[in-house]
């Protein structure tokens, strides 16, 4: 049992280290989950998460430039 756990942890660590799990992929997964939850509800369309590019642009405008 410990060997399987160790193997799984090392695999996840190596995947994260390779960059296969990016911030964009994580954001898009959260966005897809939110969209799936909203199906069949009367949620207003303005409450959806924006596409990643728009999110990143808005985020970069909010961060102050280094001095």
- Please report, for the chain, how many H helices and E strands are present, in that order: 3, 0
Quick one: pLDDT at residue 16?
A: 64
Stronger pLDDT, 21 or 52, i.e. the higher one: 52
- Per residue in 30-42, pLDDT (tens digit) is 888 888 888 877 7
């Amino acid at each position: 049992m410990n060997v399987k756990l160790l193997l799984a942890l090392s695999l996840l660590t190596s995947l994260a280290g390779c960059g296969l799990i990016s911030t964009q992929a994580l954001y898009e997964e959260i966005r897809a989950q939110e969209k799936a939850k909203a199906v069949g509800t009367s949620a207003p369309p303005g409450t959806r998460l924006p596409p990643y590019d728009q999110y990143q642009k808005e985020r970069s405008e909010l961060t102050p430039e280094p001095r």
